[in-house]
Structure 1
Amino acid sequence: MVVQILLAVAGLVVLTFAADHLVLGSSRLAKRIRISPVVVGVVVIGLGTSAPEFLVSGVAAARGDTGLAVGNIAGSNILNLTLVLGIAALAGSVAVTSQVIRREVPLAVGAVVLFSFLAWAGLRPITGAALAVTGVGAIFLLLGWARQGRSNEEIADDAVEFTHAAAQIDVPVAPSRLPAWFEPIRATLGLAGVLAGAQLLVSNASAIAEDLGVPQVIIGFTLVALGTSLPELVTTVQAQRRGESDLVVGNLFGSNLFNSLIGGAVVGFASGSAAPARAAVALSVTMILTAGLAWVLLRRGLALTRVEALALLAAYALTMPLLLST
């Protein structure tokens, strides 16, 4: 058991390190071949930062550990809008523009609702295809919004700042001194590292669940989801310290959108028709309720207070006994 826990932690470390370099390598490569900063910000960075959830759940589903696969995505969706958002609001008021509340947030909530229903019905190739098509449509919609007026400039600035930054776990080296051929190698090695870390994490998390005699969905919802959501937690805390509340909200709801649509599609394709991945009614309802709660609290005054932050943290604390009772 101790060895399996250590190996799972090692897999998580490799996953986090490799995902960081996958996103940076892909972003810088896209910039070098003159892809629009808006595309880099919305697609490359947005999808890349959710790579740990996609690949961990995809690997788990391909291994037949469907409970772990669904639990990871569901847990990340719930954790992002309760624990992570609550921690950010405790550090300071999280304000958001009415435009984000009217457009991006409802789109993300709709994605969570769709994933919840399809996960309850069973994620298989046909539902995976439906989620993939919806995900592509959502990406084009986000790109269209991003190109309009002020948001285009903000996303472009964020993308340029990100691609000029050093990796969070990397030794700080000025990117301008790196040769052009290094970025595709960085991205390729990052992808390989994410796959290896995901395999290490999933195999040992599955073994831990079996040894403890608990359902895989519980391990996926707690340990695996918390681990794969660490990048969102770090990014959120950093953005909140800089006073970029819109970035906090956009990062968390955007993560849920990509998790639900693209991550759900990956799980559906990897599961196959014979053994579809399913979510219990309680888990599906909890995903919808937590997304709705965060949306309602933000709509009230376009900001989250510390009292409301405590409500979100309490909501996260209540999810575990609810799932254990099912």
Structure 2
Amino acid sequence: MDSLPLWLLALIFAAAAAVVWVAGVQLSKATDVLDARFHIGSAFGGLIILAIATNLPEIAITVSAAVSGNLGVAVGNILGGIALQTVVLVVLDLFGRRQDGATLAGPLTFRAASLVLVLEAIVLVTVLGFVVAGTQLPGSLLVARMTPDAVLIAVAWVAGLLVIRRAQKHLPWRLVHAEASKDASAPASRARKRHPSKRHDALSTPKVLALFAASAVATLAAGVVLELSGDAAASELGLSGVLFGATVLALATSLPEISTGLQAVRQGDDELAMSDIFGGNAFLPVLFLVATLVAGEPVLASAHDSDIYLTALAIVLTLVYTVGLILRPKRRLLGMGVDSLVVLLLYAVGVAGLFALA
């Protein structure tokens, strides 16, 4: 796409963004129906099904970069957008409305109120901790086309899934939570707060699965076009690859998370919306193992200072929301929860630091 004029690149970029948005809405609706029919649970459904589907563009770009030996692109693609995808929760908190158009009462973390989400955040921070440690290991640690850091990241992710799955079935806090639910300040029960799409709920399970698959393919194709057209436009504008990737391009590739998240909130499933973000962010570093196997050489060793910086920023932003899920602040400031406002300010400071680093 490098030979195309800027106006055409902008048009292609906008068209791909529109496709990603529409496909993301369909993914969220289909996931909500599948969660109910297969009894997956919203947090677990968001952690695996929706999170992987909305990250299909990143999967394609990472594999493509690994095949071509462009390991720096693979690392930047995986780590560059995690911090901004966490800021997507600010968007969901600020613009979240139910299907009737009414503004939601209480911030996002107050409404979600789930210890499973806290566990998901802990898994994410653990995985990102392994990522930071892995960037400091020598590139000579390669056995059977794998490195210890990439393997540990994947193992930590799988172990986290098992812990979360177990937590959904049994938590010692369940009785206390049930008693607290009698209070008006506690979150409504799942049965009362979910409002799945009636049109999608009327479809047969094979049709819902087909809709999910078609939306996932559309997200994948449009996401790749977003990446390619965005990179070409950045080159024409003379923007730094790191800065463009961590801001404009990261926002564009986060459109699936924004559209699916807003739709989940409209359907009354705040837990699914947050789980999609935490789950997607935790899954992305697992691609280091895939990239290492494909490239046949260590991938994390190619990380730049800016990649490590953005990973640390993502950890801080995730911990802010973890505190919010535990404390459940009721107050809104500037239309959002206190935790969302703190995240937004920290991200702004972080981007300023990124400019200084670049």
> TM-score band, normalised by the shorter chain?
0.7 to 0.9
**Contact residue 97 and residue 302 of structure 1 kept, 8 A:** no
Give distance in 1, aligned partners of 2:150 and 2:305: 19
- Is contact 2:30-2:208 (8 Å) kept? yes
- Residue 197 of structure 2 corresponds to residue 165 of structure 1: yes
User: What secondary structure sits across from 1:37 in the alignment?
Assistant: coil
Does residue 291 (structure 1) correspond to residue 320 (structure 2)? The answer is: no
Q: Assess if the C-alpha contact under 8 Å between 2:50 and 2:276 holds in 1.
A: no
Aligned residue runs from structure 1 range 308-319, under 5 A: 308-319=339-350
Report the equivalent of 1:11. Answer: 16
1:204, CA displacement in angstroms?
Answer: 1.9
| Residues 308/211 of structure 1: CA separation in 2 closer, same or farther (3 Å cut) | same
Q: How does 1:132-281 map to 2 (within 5 A)?
A: 132-148=154-170, 165=197, 173-176=199-202, 178-237=203-262, 249-260=274-285, 262-273=286-297, 278-281=302-305
Shift of 1:248: 5.3
CA shift at 1:114, angstroms? 1.9
Does structure 1 retain, via aligned residues, the 8 Å contact 2:84–2:247? no
Distance 2:78 2:24 in 1: 17
Is contact 2:320-2:343 (8 Å) kept? no
Structure having the larger proportion of residues in helix: 1
Q: 1:66: Cα distance to partner?
A: 4.5
Which residue of 2 is the match for residue 320 of structure 1? 351
Runs of 5+ unmatched residues, structure 2: 1-5, 96-105, 179-186
Q: Displacement, 1:302?
A: 1.2
Paired with 2:268 and 2:220, the residues of 1 have a C-alpha distance of 34
Superposed CA deviations along residues 171-217 of structure 1, whole A, max 9, x for unmatched, are xx3442x4554345434433432332233222222322333344433
* 1:271-308 residue CA offsets vs partner (Å, 9 max, x unmatched): 54287673322431332244235425753871356355
CA distance in 1, matches of 2:224, 2:54: 18
Relative distance call for 1:279 and 1:97 in structure 2 (3 A) is same
TM-score, length basis structure 1: 0.72
Call closer, same or farther: CA 1:115–1:6 in 2, change over 3 Å: farther
Contact 2:62 2:74 survives alignment (8 Å):
yes
**Residue identity in the other structure for 1:47:** I
CA contact (8 A) 2:54 2:256 kept: yes
Q: Name 1:107's counterpart in structure 2.
A: 123
Q: Which amino acid aligns with 1:144?
A: R
Letter in 2 for 1:310: L
Contact 1:80–1:256 under 8 Å retained in 2: yes
- For residue 74 of structure 1, what is the aligned residue in structure 2? 79
Unaligned residue ranges in structure 1 (runs of 5+): 167-172
Identify the residue that residue 100 of structure 2 maps to in structure 1.
none
Any conservation in 2 of the 1:67–1:217 contact (CA below 8 Å)?
A: no
1:248–1:70 Cα change, 3 Å: same
Larger radius of gyration: 2
Distance of 1:294 and 1:30 partners within structure 2: 25
Task: Name the amino acid aligned to 1:108.
Answer: L
- Aligned pairs, number: 311
Work out whether residues 125 and 271 of structure 1, in 8 Å CA contact, stay in contact via their aligned partners in 2: no
2:346, 2:84 → 1: CA distance? 10
Aligned to 2:88: 84
CA contact (8 A) 2:34 2:208 kept: yes
Q: Is the 8 A contact 2:124 2:278 kept in 1?
A: yes
The farther-off stretch of 59-68 and 111-120 is 59-68
Structure 1 pair 17–311 and aligned structure 2 pair: CA distance change class (3 A): same
Alpha carbons 1:19, 1:190 under 8 Å: kept: yes
The secondary structure found in structure 1 opposite 2:211 is helix
What are the Cα deviations for residues 75-109 of structure 1, in whole angstroms up to 9, with x where unaligned? 3321133x334445567533365835763322221
Q: What RMSD over aligned residues (CA atoms) do the two structures have, in Å? A: 4.2
| In 2, Cα distance between equivalents of 1:108 and 1:26 | 21
Q: State the 1:226 CA deviation.
A: 0.8
